[in-house]
Structure 1
Amino acid sequence: MSTGQLGTGSAEMDHQYGTPERLQTRASFWAPSPPGESPQDVAIKVLREANVHKVLEIGCGRGDFASRMRDELGADVLATDRSEAMVEATRSRGLVAQVIDATELPYEDASFDAVVAMWMLYHVPDLDRTLGEVRRVLTPGGVFVSVTNGREHTADLLREVGLPLAETQFMTENGEEVLRRHFDDVARTIANGKAVADHATARAYLSTFVPEVADQLPVYDGERTFTGSSAVFVAR
């Protein structure tokens, strides 16, 4: 989404993440990727190869990825989010979760051997301060894994309702430049996806971002395919 739909304002953040249901609607829009190819799969592979043990996730949402890290990696995961509703949803899955502000992490230096941020850095009000905090709480040699979307993410759907293409403070196109302000070693892996959705599903997806434009989606029969554009960044 554009900066206006994926920005840092409190009102839009409360709309998008005030309840777990909106995030579930957004997540269920995407069709399953072949095994090993989704951004989440790529991130899990990186963390497994790094042999991580103690992981901090900022912007945990409903706890989906935190659960994967716990179950698939056997990691000690601390999940965090600014939304109380998201933290409660994560705790309901048996995970340790806390309400925190990512721009001021309440943890000691070198506390985690991995930090994870899944589709959330475009939201933080002070990106460089957040990344400085991430670097501070990482152990020497620790890994930071972040996932974000690119400019062309759901471009075909956005054009249908007259929305501009994505331009955010942290996206596929500028993520490496941003991360190199804080990390020496930065790598990017493109991991695109697709959605196969009927009109009602596509409209519901749009409404989680900008409710007033969802009704502008032209009616269509059957299902249509919409393309995603995502990237996984690994920084050390």
Structure 2
Amino acid sequence: MATPGAVPFDYDSNPDRYRMGSKLSNDHSRINLYARVAARLTGADLVLDVGCAEGVLCEAMPDKRLIGLDMSMPFLRNHPAPRIQANATAIPFRDNTFDGVTAVNMLYHLTDPRPALKEAKRVLKPGGVMIAATIARTDSPEFAGYRTRPPTTFDAEEAPEIVRDVFGEVEVDAWDAPLLTLPTKASIRDYLLVRRVSREAADKAAQELDVPLSVTKRGAMANRSKACLT
């Protein structure tokens, strides 16, 4: 396997790439990852969403007090208050502040996710829950002939072990199923463009693949309660 690397961070320069991906998921996915995360936080009164983007988790848990944290100002402008621009490795809150901390599809942007996980652990109250979610290297295998996804620093294959390094034992919720259906040639093209596939390869896939196309989604969510730490 190639050496894992951090996924490039382009949200300030190209926020529409993320927005297009969110729209595709909202329109065509049969599950809502953020609702799945929210279900793990039913007992949390105050939540910090690290890598909050434009507030998708807020929408999934409108009855909770949630603070968004992100490095991208274009996203934070659209996130409901309260929100703060900060780095995941230097969270500007006191120890034992939050009932829940989430990091959904963002730790792979870091060269080493462990310092961010340690910060999440620090700001969690005793009994608080940390949730980290990410996709697998083998996600969307239907497109294997059109894209190569290099290993990242926080793929689902190793993510539980990385979280375990900081938090101890974790509970893992994994998925591997045809959870998204792309109905048109244009949606196939856009799905690949969101994943940084070249326009040429995306157009080729759109031309060659039949629609509707069922896409296998693979990923994992690791969560851990601080109450059990020694």
| Equivalent residue, structure 2, for 1:147 | 133
| Equivalent residue, structure 2, for 1:223 | 212
| Equivalent residue, structure 1, for 2:221 | 232
Q: Do the aligned partners of 2:34 and 2:56 also contact (CA within 8 Å) in 1?
A: no
Q: How does 1:1-236 map to 2 (within 5 A)?
A: 7-8=5-6, 12-14=8-10, 16=11, 18-30=13-25, 31-33=28-30, 38-48=32-42, 51-69=43-61, 71=62, 74-90=63-79, 94-157=80-143, 159-161=144-146, 163-165=147-149, 167-192=151-176, 193-212=179-198, 213-217=201-205, 219-220=207-208, 222-236=211-225
**CA apart distance, 1:196:** 2.2
- After alignment, is 225-234 or 17-26 more displaced? 17-26
Q: Do the aligned partners of 2:6 and 2:108 also contact (CA within 8 Å) in 1?
A: yes
**CA apart distance, 1:205:** 2.1
Task: Give the partner amino acid of 1:85.
Answer: P
Task: Give the partner amino acid of 1:195.
Answer: T
How big is the alpha-carbon RMSD for the aligned residues of Structure 1 and Structure 2? 2.3
Secondary structure at the counterpart of residue 167 of structure 1: coil
Task: Give the partner amino acid of 2:170.
Answer: V
| Cα distance in 2, alignment partners of residues 29 and 62 from structure 1 | 15
Stretches of structure 2 lacking an aligned partner (at least 5 in a row): 226-230
| Cα distance in 1, alignment partners of residues 148 and 48 from structure 2 | 33
* Cα-to-partner distance string for 1:96-144 (whole Å, 9 max, x where unaligned): 1111111111111111111011111111233111111111111112100
Stretches of structure 1 lacking an aligned partner (at least 5 in a row): none
Q: Structure 1 residues 67, 17: closer, same or farther in 2, change over 3 A?
A: farther
Task: Give the partner amino acid of 2:108.
Answer: Y
Secondary structure at the counterpart of residue 164 of structure 1: coil
**CA apart distance, 1:218:** 5.0
Moved over 4 A (4+): none
Secondary structure at the counterpart of residue 143 of structure 1: strand
Secondary structure at the counterpart of residue 13 of structure 1: coil
| Cα distance in 1, alignment partners of residues 125 and 181 from structure 2 | 38
Q: Structure 1 residues 232, 176: closer, same or farther in 2, change over 3 A?
A: same
Task: Give the partner amino acid of 2:102.
Answer: V
* Cα-to-partner distance string for 1:4-58 (whole Å, 9 max, x where unaligned): 8xx536xx311x564443222112323232xxx543232111111xx10111000
Q: Structure 1 residues 86, 222: closer, same or farther in 2, change over 3 A?
A: same
Task: Give the partner amino acid of 2:155.
Answer: M
**CA apart distance, 1:164:** 2.2
| Equivalent residue, structure 1, for 2:228 | none
Q: Do the aligned partners of 2:183 and 2:212 also contact (CA within 8 Å) in 1?
A: yes
| Cα distance in 2, alignment partners of residues 190 and 23 from structure 1 | 23
Task: Give the partner amino acid of 2:44.
Answer: V
- After alignment, is 204-213 or 223-232 more displaced? 204-213
User: Taking structure 1 as the reference length, what is the TM-score of the superposition?
Assistant: 0.82
| Cα distance in 1, alignment partners of residues 16 and 65 from structure 2 | 26
**CA apart distance, 1:195:** 3.0
User: Taking structure 2 as the reference length, what is the TM-score of the superposition?
Assistant: 0.84
